[in-house]
Structure 1
Amino acid sequence: MFQNCLICTDFKDGLYRLVDFVSNLANNGLKRIIFLHSISVWEDERIAKVDEEKIAQAKERLAPALDKVPNGVEVKIEVLSGTVKDCVLQLIETYEIDVVFTGMPVRNALETKIFGSHTLDLAPATTTPLMVLRPQLISTYTYEELSLRTKHFWRYLLVPYNDGDSAKYLLERIKQMAQNQPDGSFEQCLLLWVIDDGGRSHELSEYHLQQAQEKLNQVQQQLETLNLKVNTEIRQGNPLEEILDAAIYYDISAIATACQYRSNFLAWTAPSLANDILSQSWFPVLFFSPEK
């Protein structure tokens, strides 16, 4: 389970609000919580002086995280100069981070291509899982709503599964996550297999449904040995639409997803279910980056 987390914020994504919920974050099993704000480096000396003021302002804004820290929990504030990706990678190594919280607006493929995304830049650069929260939502939660949300980030995960390479990789990461977890931090998961049978015969669809159920039953047994409560469901239709609909129906905490490609830039820009979930899901997304 996760113990060392890095929370990245640009003060526009709403993640800075988590400074008021350190005790709740610890309820998820976190023992080390690092808050990061990165500031761009400028060559001009006059601008550099302004950046020093921004650094002081950022530290002051994140300072409430240091109040009322629970016993056994370490909290630190880091305000660094440099690109977001470079700062994150540096702190991942320094603090042995095993999960990174980051904000990413809901965007379509064209908007992502035009405006870019720090999260998509970071994903292929590290093996550390990313917990992606939507600024549009976390910024509008009331204090009470955010207090409840921060207590149970991973209690009930939706795990898309189709027996492909990325799905098998995701399953292995979920198994690792389930081991040595604090009580209540990760209790349940929904294994969801979505079959897109457009234009296929009824007999072929029935065959695929039977195969999918058999494989889901096998995976369910594996996860239940790790003291997880596991539900399974098979749906037919558009994978992203069915995943989001199931997340609403089952009261999911977050959607888990993964991919296996790392160095091929074209693979990251090509359409895929993982990219669709990262870019378009309103739910929190736990993304497992590919192994090196």
Structure 2
Amino acid sequence: MFERILICTDFSDGLHRLAYFAASLSDGGIKQIVFLHVVPLSETGIIPKIDSEKIEQSQSRLTAAVENSPTTVDVKIEVQSGQPVQTILKVAKSYQSELIVLGSQIHNSPIDILRGSTMSELSRRTTIPLLILRPQLIAAFTTEELTLRCQHLLRYILIPYDGCEASNFLVKQVKQLAQKQAGRFLERCMLCWVTDSIPTQTERNILSNAKVDLEAANLQVTIDFRRGTPLSEILELAQMDEISAIAISSGTIGKFQEWIVSSFAAELLRLSWCPVLFFPSPR
């Protein structure tokens, strides 16, 4: 599974709270955690400049939170000034991060997540998977609940599947994660195919083959055909089952096509309270 993660926080998203749970994240197989906070340039004068005071305050805040971290995990603090996306990419490269964790906000429309979105820009500029967490969800967890969530960060993954290239790409990515993990941190996944009609035998065979492919990586795999609207059915399934994250991929997030016809991925990112594991499309 992912062993080196980069957690990006602006302190309003609640993700800085994870700094108190380094031990629990370590129990989930994570060996290196980098907490990154990007301080905007101060614009009080004519020329923007580094806000040294805010950098020092942020550094102290995160350092205090991780001071009791166990020796089993390497915890780093990075507080830098600059443009968020460029800084995230630079820090991720420096630490060879395998997963970037971001907070999301509630958006009124699909276009809102595209206009000036850090997530959408990152998805176009990196091949590193992104884990999108809803800040309100993190805030609602008690210490006991968040401990368990961190220990089982990606134990059970839901893969929306329809036999297309994007869904086969997801299966491949999840399989690779399962094959390289040292323990059983990723244990289960569900393949769900939502259609507007009764599934054909060909579709059943395709889904069964995907199941066999994932089982070869020592995963527990269940499959499900559902009739209805893909978005509503996937959100319902994530709510009713013990899903850790919904895996998605898209090559149009933040691009012009998304402004014309909102994609399943964009709607899911806007509406899902369940964490979303986003795999950028291959370049």
TM-score of the superposed pair, with normalisation by structure 1: 0.90
Is residue 2:136 matched to residue 1:136? yes
Is residue 2:249 matched to residue 1:258? yes
2:278 maps to: 287
2:221 maps to: 230
Q: 1:67 to 1:42 in 2, by over 3 A?
A: closer
Q: 1:271 to 1:114 in 2, by over 3 A?
A: closer
Structure 1 counterpart of 2:120, one-letter code = L
Q: Deviations over 1:212-264 (max 9, x none)?
A: 221111011111111100000000111111001111222111111112458x8
2:73 maps to: 73
2:202 maps to: 211
Structure 2 counterpart of 1:2, one-letter code = F
2:149 maps to: 149
Q: Distance in 1 between matches of 2:25 and 2:81?
A: 26
Contact 2:4 2:33 in 1 (8 A): yes
1:276 maps to: 267
1:165 maps to: 165
Structure 2 counterpart of 1:137, one-letter code = L
Shift, 1:68, TM fit: 3.1
Q: 1:242 to 1:209 in 2, by over 3 A?
A: farther
1:220 maps to: 211
Residue range with higher mean Cα deviation, 99-108 or 186-195: 99-108
Q: Distance in 2 between matches of 1:172 and 1:114?
A: 27
Gaps of 5+ in 2: none
Q: Deviations over 1:116-156 (max 9, x none)?
A: 42212221111100010001111222212211111111100
Q: 1:46 to 1:70 in 2, by over 3 A?
A: farther
The residue matched to 2:277 in structure 1 has which SS? strand
1:201 maps to: none
The residue matched to 2:140 in structure 1 has which SS? coil
Contact 1:106 1:281 in 2 (8 A): no
The residue matched to 1:132 in structure 2 has which SS? strand
The residue matched to 1:169 in structure 2 has which SS? helix
Is residue 2:229 matched to residue 1:267? no
Structure 2 counterpart of 1:15, one-letter code = L
2:64 maps to: 64
Q: Distance in 2 between matches of 1:53 and 1:181?
A: 41
TM-score of the superposed pair, with normalisation by structure 2: 0.92
Contact 2:38 2:82 in 1 (8 A): yes
Is residue 2:186 matched to residue 1:186? yes
Gaps of 5+ in 1: 198-204
Shift, 1:111, TM fit: 6.3
Q: Deviations over 1:31-66 (max 9, x none)?
A: 111000001123556997882111111011111343
RMSD: 2.2
Residue range with higher mean Cα deviation, 65-74 or 51-60: 65-74
Aligned residues: 282
Q: Distance in 2 between matches of 1:109 and 1:194?
A: 23
Residue range with higher mean Cα deviation, 61-70 or 43-52: 43-52
Q: Distance in 2 between matches of 1:212 and 1:281?
A: 27
Q: Distance in 1 between matches of 2:116 and 2:35?
A: 23
Q: Give the percent of matched residue pairs that are identical in Structure 1 and Structure 2.
A: 40
